[in-house]
Amino acid sequence: MADYGTTAESSTAGPSTRSSSPPPNKASSQSIRSQRSARSSESTPLLARRDSEDQEPSSPLSSATSSLLRSINGSTASKQSSRRWPSFIALLLLCTFTITIMLLGFFVPEVMEEYAMQAKDFELTSISLPEFTAGGAKARIQGVFRLDAGKVHKKYVRDIGIIGTWVAGAVESKESTVEVSLPEYGGIILGTAVVPPIVVNLRNGRRTEVDFLADLTPGDVGGIRKVADDWVSGRLGQLRVLGEANVRLKSGIFSLGSQAISQSLVFAGDEIPKMPAFNITKLNFHEAELPNGKGMAADVSIWVKNDYPISVSVPPLGFGILVDNCSPDQPHIMVADSLTNALSIHPKSDVNLNVTGNIRRFPHKLVSECPGSGKSPLDSFIKSYIHGDDSTIYVQGSDSPSVDTPKWLSELMSSITVPVPFRGHTFDKLIRNFSLTDVHFGLPDPWAAPGSPESDPMISANIKALINLPQEMNFPVDVDRVRAKANVFYKGDKLGRLDLHKWQAANSTRVPAHGNDSPALLVESHITDAPLIITNDDVFSDIVQKLLFGGKPVMLSLKAEVDVEMETTLGTLTVRDIPAEGDVPVKPIMTGDGGLTGFSPKIGNLTILESSPDGLTIQALVNFTNPTSYSATVPYADIKLLTNGTMLGHITARNLTIVSGNNTNLLVQAEWEPFIAGGAQGKSIGRELLSQYISGYNTTISLRTHKGTLPSQPALGKALSGFTITIPTPRMHSPKPPTDGDGPETPPEEDSGKPHFIQEATMHLFSSTANFVLLSPLSKTTLYITKINATAFYKQDDVGKIEYELPFAVPPGASTTPRLPVDWSLGSVGYEALRKAIGGELKLSARAEVGIRIGRYDVGVWFRGGGIGAKVRL
């Protein structure tokens, strides 16, 4: 390669010229001087001039020519006798060339300018900035210059240009200063360049290799910043650059004077350089020891595409990293400072850049909530990143830590802020597992207004979330609180949303990597009374039906956005809207045949609270076993009371807490209103139920939910409307069901040992009376027998009859009635058996129609009883 400031031609510039006068050695020295080594320039074209440009009153070329001719004439007059033919021919050729240059250069300047403008061709092979200096930089320019006549459109311009440049051969420029400005920006000066002397071959097709150093000096820093801001913000649609210089030219031994050269270039559209493509190939966050204590460091590796023939030796630089504030009109927030080492950029070679950024603390503005949004600028940035959305960071130059970095370069870099797209990263299953355990369901307040928070069912449970730790995250964290917004789905259809907007205390445990699983963080928290807002009643009904009657687990799915508050070296960091998915298997409440496994409900301790002519209000205690793992709080529920499908009243429950396993002494209240609830049929079936009940038969009642079971949750009531539980009626002493097989019309003949309404009797033959020990099912209320029409039997034979219409009281528990008059069936087999049993005991059965009054409620029932132990007395 040629040394800086030299040129190399692919062919000779032309024949040398010799003087016609002796001595020959002088002519030889002139010939050598005419072939001086020079430098070449990229400026265009070096011979072209404009008529409008100012010219000197006396052209340097005309003066030189006149002087040369006078010297030649003087020489020939004094030495005509020694004239030689070769010298004469050389002189003639020199004069011819001189006249030709005068004709071409001064009489047809427009033609030569047009030729130069169209024929010029400069191929830039390399631009390098090998050194930054205190006042600017040194630039090395390398390329190939030639004139290509084939690019000239007009033939006469092409012919004249070829002749003129062949005559000139080469042209040399002296050292010059080029000033570059931007007319559309008020003529601000981008910079100046001092170009050394250069020489180029002007003959058609001849190539001149150019290689020179230029001293660059930056111009108006404020103007450069304005242009840079327009460029990075995309507002620079067109840019016109104006280069101006006064260049002194020389062709051979002839000086062409000083030429004022002005060249304007317009860049528009794709001609304007674009931000080079880049990719962050590595990002690693870790703790670091900083001068003021511990902080966070980010090691970043960046690949940058370089399509330009530029070579730059970049000194160490400092940069500030900024992010958006709450609104675009607010200044950006500085979050980190970064350093780069010295870097060498080679022509058309991609750049691999390693940068280290340090975060000393979180600025207050970065973590403060923006007005009306509930999120801080840091929240918005992290959310975009973890969701794979692109965001923007801003890189701004700052003071360099190296003394080798010129001050002007640091000032220029600090005045420019470049927005850099920051590509988001989609973390596949950032939360590996999200589940609820120990679920407790709380039913809503029955009197809550629809749509209010109190009208939603509530869930309490333990939350477990297994969070995958990204590879980029290599610093310790401790999760203190969590919250979430979770949507609940069933078979792809949305059931509703689980409102976990309140912060819940949490703890975290680091789980080491195992097999193909990366390290993770197990976060555990307990939620209490989180509202479950049902949005699809049909889906909810389907789920409840499956739980009650499906006999198999129901799989619900959760899609949540989780907020995690963690403690880091920099302080409290909140990561919001982390996507999470998980499954919640719900065990069936009932077996597949529609019965509750192990439910075993029992009702006892009946108490009459109120009475009316149409019915009773009864209070009872209920014991049962909850076979599921779920618990529930029931503030209010209303359930229909039925027998054989006929409604007889309803049961209400208030403020019940149901747990998994045994539940004892749960207080419920029943409204016994057969006629109001079921009309005449209800009244009849109610009478039959009471009659069978006091007769000791195996009776049952049914409990059925309905749409109004939960007033504030009609959807749940609708879902439960097919749910019916059949339970045995409460026994006086919780006897087992009768096993004698006798129906309502066939009283049992033998004493089964189970307590009936009539426990025992005493027959007084002489006074024709009888009294009975009665067992009342009521625990606190006295009932009254208003009338009796009864017949006693001994093995199907009448013993006697009682007809009594005076009321008497039956207090709670066992009590003895007054003596009731008996009309004996004298002469009957039954009576004879009774008479023979005087002083002993005889097993009797009885059938009776009885009038009962409880408070203001009167009802007539029948009684069928067998195995009654009757004592016989005179």
- Give me the architecture of the 278-422 domain, per CATH: Sandwich (2.60)
Q: Say if residues 43 and 261 touch (Cβ distance below 8 Å).
A: yes
Give per-residue burial for 482-507: e unless 16+ CB within 10 Å, then b: bbbebbbbbeeeebbbbbbeeeeebe
The pLDDT of 766-794, averaged and rounded, is 88
**Residue 256, pLDDT score:** 66
The predicted-structure confidence for 102-135, as pLDDT tens digits, reads as follows 445 544 567 777 887 788 887 877 778 888 888 7
Cα angle: 129, vertex 134, 138; to 5 degrees: 25
Query: Could you tell me how many residues make up the chain?
Result: 874
Q: Are strands 631-643 and 646-658 parallel, antiparallel or unpaired?
A: antiparallel
Q: Say if residues 626 and 660 touch (Cβ distance below 8 Å).
A: yes
Q: Is the pLDDT of residue 743 over 80?
A: no
* Cis bond upstream, residue 23 (ω within 30): yes
CATH topology (fold) of 758-873: Immunoglobulin-like (2.60.40)
Domain ranges within the chain, ordered by starting residue: 6-271, 278-422, 431-586, 602-728, 758-873
Residue 635, Ramachandran bin (φ over 0: left; ψ between -120 and 50: alpha; else beta): alpha
**Residue 607, pLDDT score:** 86
Q: Is the pLDDT of residue 747 over 50?
A: no
More confident site: 425 or 693: 693
**Residue 788, pLDDT score:** 92
Q: Is the pLDDT of residue 284 over 60?
A: yes
**Residue 613, pLDDT score:** 92
Q: Which residues contact 28 (CB under 8 A, 6 or more apart)?
A: 18
**Residue 861, pLDDT score:** 92
Q: What percent of the chain has pLDDT over 70?
A: 79
When mean pLDDT is compared over 256-260, 306-310, 520-524, 709-713, the highest value belongs to 520-524
Q: Which residues contact 476 (CB under 8 A, 6 or more apart)?
A: 287, 568, 569
CATH topology (fold) of 602-728: Immunoglobulin-like (2.60.40)
Q: Which helix (H) or strand (E) holds 114?
A: helix 109-119
Q: Which residues contact 818 (CB under 8 A, 6 or more apart)?
A: 771, 808
CB atoms within 10 A of CB 198: 28
Q: What's the Cα-to-Cα distance from 175 to each of 7, 258, 276, 442, rounded to whole Å?
A: 15, 11, 35, 92
Q: How far apart are CA 15 and CA 30, in angstroms?
A: 13
Q: What percent of the chain has pLDDT over 90?
A: 10
**Residue 857, pLDDT score:** 92
pLDDT band of 672, cuts 50, 70, 90: very high
- For the ranges 481-485, 545-549, 746-750, 824-828, the lowest mean pLDDT is seen at 746-750
- For the ranges 301-305, 397-401, 519-523, 870-874, the lowest mean pLDDT is seen at 397-401
Q: CA torsion sign, 441 to 446 to 448 to 449? A: positive
pLDDT band of 738, cuts 50, 70, 90: very low
Q: Is the pLDDT of residue 269 over 80?
A: no
CB atoms within 10 A of CB 874: 10
**Residue 873, pLDDT score:** 87
DSSP state at residue 504: E
Q: Is the pLDDT of residue 253 over 70?
A: no
When mean pLDDT is compared over 385-394, 718-727, 830-839, the highest value belongs to 830-839
Is there a common fold for 278-422 and 602-728?
A: yes
Alpha helices in 530-658 (DSSP H): 537-545
Q: Which residues contact 626 (CB under 8 A, 6 or more apart)?
A: 599, 658, 659, 660, 661, 662, 663
**Residue 597, pLDDT score:** 57
**Residue 52, pLDDT score:** 37
Q: Is the pLDDT of residue 837 over 80?
A: yes
**Residue 732, pLDDT score:** 56
Q: Is the pLDDT of residue 27 over 50?
A: no
- Strand partners of residue 623: 602
The burial class, CB within 10 Å (0-12 / 13-18 / 19+), for 537 is middle
CB atoms within 10 A of CB 596: 19
Query: Which residue in the block uniquely carries the two structure tokens 């000194």?
Result: 315
**Residue 30, pLDDT score:** 38
Q: How far apart are CA 205 and CA 665, in angstroms?
A: 112
The predicted-structure confidence for 44-75, as pLDDT tens digits, reads as follows 333 333 333 333 433 344 333 333 333 434 44
Q: Is the pLDDT of residue 373 over 50?
A: yes
Q: Which two tokens stand for residue 827?
A: 């002469």
Q: Is the pLDDT of residue 735 over 80?
A: no
The pLDDT of 574-589, averaged and rounded, is 77
